[in-house]
Amino acid sequence: MTISLTRRRTAPRPPAIQPTAGAGSRQWVGYAFLCPALLLFVLFVAGPFVAAIVLSLYRWDMLTPAQFAGVGNFTAMFGDPLLYRSLANTFVFALASLVTHLVGGLLLALGVNRLKNKVLSYFVRTSLFFPFVISWAAVALLWKYVLDPSFGLVTYYLGRLGLDTPNWFNDPSWALPSIIGIDFWHTIGFTFVIMLAGLQTVPNTLLEAARLDGANAWQTLWHVTIPMMSPTIFFAAVITFLGAFQIFDPIQIITPQGGPDNSTMSVVMYLYQKGFQSFQVGYASAVSLLVFAVMMVVTLLQFWGSRRWVHQ
Amino acid sequence: MGAPVTTGRAAPVRRRHRIRPARVVLGLVLLVVGVLMVAPLVWLIVQSLTAERAAFSLPPGWLPRPFTVDNFANIDGLIPFGRMALNSLQVSLISTVGSMLVSVLAGYAFSRLRFRGRQAILLVMLSALMVPVQTTVIPVFVLMRNLGLVDHLAALWLPALINVFAIFFFRQYFNTIPRELDEAARIDGASHPWILFRIIVPLSGPALAAMTILAFEASWNNYFGPLIFLSSPQHMTLPIGLVTLQAGQGGSSVVVFAAITAVVVPVMVVFLAFQRSFAASIASAGIRG
A36 part of contact set with chain B, CB < 8 Å = yes
- The per-residue pLDDT for B17 is 52
Find the residue in A nearest to B183 (Cα).
A17
- The per-residue pLDDT for B18 is 55
Chain B residues in contact with A104 (beta carbon < 8 A): none
Nearest C-alpha of chain A: how many angstroms from B149? 14
A297 pLDDT exceeds 70? yes
The one-letter amino acid code at A100 reads T
The one-letter amino acid code at B37 reads M
Query: Percent of chain A having pLDDT more than 90?
Result: 54
Pairwise pLDDT comparison (B288 vs A304), residue with the higher score: A304
User: Residue A3 and residue B115: Cβ atoms within 8 Å?
Assistant: no
Pairing verdict, β A67-68 and A58-59: antiparallel
d(C-alpha A48, C-alpha B199), whole Å: 36
Q: Which CATH superfamily, name and number, covers B75-287?
A: MetI-like (1.10.3720.10)
B110 pLDDT exceeds 60? yes
- The per-residue pLDDT for A22 is 45
A24 pLDDT exceeds 80? no
Average pLDDT score over residue span A59-69: 89
A296 pLDDT exceeds 80? yes
B218 part of contact set with chain A, CB < 8 Å = no
d(C-alpha B57, C-alpha B155), whole Å: 42
- The per-residue pLDDT for B139 is 95
- The per-residue pLDDT for A310 is 66
Q: Which CATH superfamily, name and number, covers A82-308?
A: MetI-like (1.10.3720.10)
Confidence of residue B76 (pLDDT cuts 50, 70, 90): confident
Pairwise pLDDT comparison (A19 vs B260), residue with the higher score: B260
- The per-residue pLDDT for B2 is 37
Average pLDDT score over residue span A132-157: 90
Closest CA to B185 of B174, B175, B176, B194: B194
Delimit the CATH 1.10.3720.10 region(s) of chain B. 75-287
**A–B: how many Cβ contacts below 8 A?**
300
- Selecting from A46, A115, A137 the residue whose C-beta is nearest the C-beta of B30 gives A115
Q: How many CB atoms lie within 10 A of CB A162?
A: 6
d(C-alpha B128, C-alpha B159), whole Å: 14
Average pLDDT score over residue span A61-80: 90
pLDDT digits (tens, 9 = 90+) for B27-39: 999 999 999 999 9
Average pLDDT, chain B: 86
Domain ranges of chain A: 82-308
Average pLDDT score over residue span B19-32: 86
- The per-residue pLDDT for A9 is 43
Long-range contacts of A11-18 (CB under 8 A, 24+ apart): A16/B179, A16/B183, A17/B179, A17/B183
Confidence of residue A18 (pLDDT cuts 50, 70, 90): very low
The ipTM value here is: 0.86
Lowest-confidence region among A9-23, A76-90, B265-279: A9-23
pLDDT digits (tens, 9 = 90+) for B221-248: 999 999 999 999 899 999 999 998 888 7
User: Residue A296 and residue B286: Cβ atoms within 8 Å?
Assistant: no
Query: Percent of chain B having pLDDT more than 70?
Result: 91
The one-letter amino acid code at B81 reads F
d(C-alpha A128, C-alpha A131), whole Å: 7
Pairwise pLDDT comparison (B196 vs B66), residue with the higher score: B196
Closest CA to A178 of A109, A247, A118: A247
B64 pLDDT exceeds 70? yes
Average pLDDT score over residue span B132-145: 93
B184 part of contact set with chain A, CB < 8 Å = no
Confidence of residue B250 (pLDDT cuts 50, 70, 90): low
d(C-alpha B208, C-alpha A129), whole Å: 21
Query: Percent of chain A having pLDDT more than 70?
Result: 91
Chain B residues in contact with A37 (beta carbon < 8 A): 102-103, 105-106, 125, 162, 167
Element (H, E) at A68: strand A67-68
pLDDT digits (tens, 9 = 90+) for A91-142: 999 999 999 999 999 999 999 988 888 899 999 999 998 899 899 999 999 9
d(C-alpha B207, C-alpha B283), whole Å: 12
Find the residue in A nearest to B221 (Cα).
A135
Lowest-confidence region among A186-200, B4-18, B73-87: B4-18
Confidence of residue B267 (pLDDT cuts 50, 70, 90): confident
B270 pLDDT exceeds 70? yes
- The per-residue pLDDT for B158 is 96
B172 part of contact set with chain A, CB < 8 Å = yes
Confidence of residue B249 (pLDDT cuts 50, 70, 90): low
A78 part of contact set with chain B, CB < 8 Å = no
Contacts for B124 with CB less than 8 Å, ≥ 6 apart: A46
